């Protein structure tokens, strides 16, 4: 139901710029080979040395991203792929200083990386990039069908009732209540979206089959979104 714009994230990183004079030396005689077709060729894994390379490449700029920031990028891209989001990664060290300062989205930022969500929510600094925080920023539509069932039970061995309920694969959570209902359970059915009959069959046949269960009431949502990891 979410449109494409609401699934676009911007991730700003800040690499370090260094100056390098690294160059490859001229190929040795052993790097010169004869091709099977004919003629002389040079091994392309060792490019031929060009006159003046050592001086022309001296002072060349290179950018390196710290391992901490690289980890944040990898984790964000991995979770975004799973949850149906796209991530645009921008290295602020490679854009003009003026452009960076006037960028409203980065105003007040002190620490990189910075992830900005569709509603301008943000995570700032490596410590903030946990799976839990990223999932909160990227709510995802649930592929499984969930349902919620209230149970009324007669007095008895609550540990036995708990053990029976939790033995069902479809029961994901169980909560004891006070009030009109005694127990609340969360059900989940893999790959069975919108199959309400299967949910109600499970409740009436399996849960209502427990001798201590007197009554049930089940809610099946039409649409579900989660912030929890999956």
Q: What are phi and psi of 149, to 5 degrees?
A: -125, 130
- State the total domains in the chain: 3
Are 69 and 136 in a shared domain? yes
CATH number for the domain spanning 121: value is 3.40.30.10
Residue 149 shares a structural domain with residue 220: yes
CB atoms < 10 A from the CB of 220, how many?
Answer: 20
Task: List, for residues 175-187, the tens digit of each pLDDT value.
Answer: 999 999 999 999 9
Same-domain check for residues 155 and 219: yes
| Interval 55-84: pLDDT, tens | 455 556 788 999 999 999 999 999 999 999
**11 and 28 share one domain:** no
Return phi, psi of residue 8, to 5°: -105, 130
Residues 114 and 166 reside in one and the same domain: no
d(CA 16, CA 82): 30
Per-residue pLDDT of the chain (230 residues; tens, 9 = 90+): 566 778 999 999 999 887 766 655 555 554 444 444 434 343 434 444 444 444 455 556 788 999 999 999 999 999 999 999 999 998 988 876 556 554 667 878 889 999 999 888 999 999 999 999 999 999 999 888 999 999 999 887 888 999 999 999 999 999 999 999 999 999 999 865 668 899 999 999 999 999 999 999 999 998 899 999 87
* 3-state DSSP assignment of residue 46: coil
**Do 125 and 196 fall within a single domain?**
no
Tell which of 124, 140, 156 closes a domain: 140
Q: Is 81 exposed, middle or buried (0-12, 13-18, 19+ CB in 10 A)?
A: exposed
Q: Which range marks the domain in which residue 205 is found?
A: 142-226
For residues 16 and 88, give the distance between their C-alpha atoms in angstroms, rounded to a whole number: 19
CB 224 within 8 A of CB 146: yes
Farthest CA pair distance, the chain: 93
Instruction: For residues 11 and 82, state if they share a domain.
Output: yes
Same domain flag for 128 and 211: no
């Amino acid at each position: 139901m979410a449109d494409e714009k609401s699934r676009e994230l911007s991730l700003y990183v800040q690499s370090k710029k260094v100056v390098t004079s690294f160059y490859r030396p001229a190929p040795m005689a052993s790097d010169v080979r004869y091709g099977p077709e004919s003629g002389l060729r040079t091994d392309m894994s060792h490019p031929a040395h060009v006159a003046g390379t050592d001086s022309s490449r001296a002072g060349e700029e290179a950018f390196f991203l710290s391992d901490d920031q690289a980890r944040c990028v990898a984790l964000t891209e991995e979770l975004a792929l799973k949850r149906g989001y796209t991530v645009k990664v921008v290295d602020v060290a490679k854009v003009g200083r003026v452009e960076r300062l006037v960028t409203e989205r980065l105003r007040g930022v002190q620490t990189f990386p910075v992830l900005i969500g569709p509603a301008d929510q943000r995570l700032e600094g490596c410590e903030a990039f946990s799976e839990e925080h990223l999932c909160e920023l990227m709510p995802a539509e649930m592929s499984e069908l969930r349902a919620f069932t209230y149970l009324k039970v007669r007095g008895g061995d609550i540990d036995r009732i708990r053990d029976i309920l939790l033995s069902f694969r479809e029961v994901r959570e169980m909560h004891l209540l006070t009030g009109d209902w005694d127990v609340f359970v969360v059900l989940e059915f893999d790959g069975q979206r919108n199959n309400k009959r299967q949910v109600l069959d499970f409740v009436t046949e399996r849960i209502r089959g427990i001798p201590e269960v007197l009554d049930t009431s089940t809610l099946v949502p039409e649409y579900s979104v989660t912030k929890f990891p999956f």
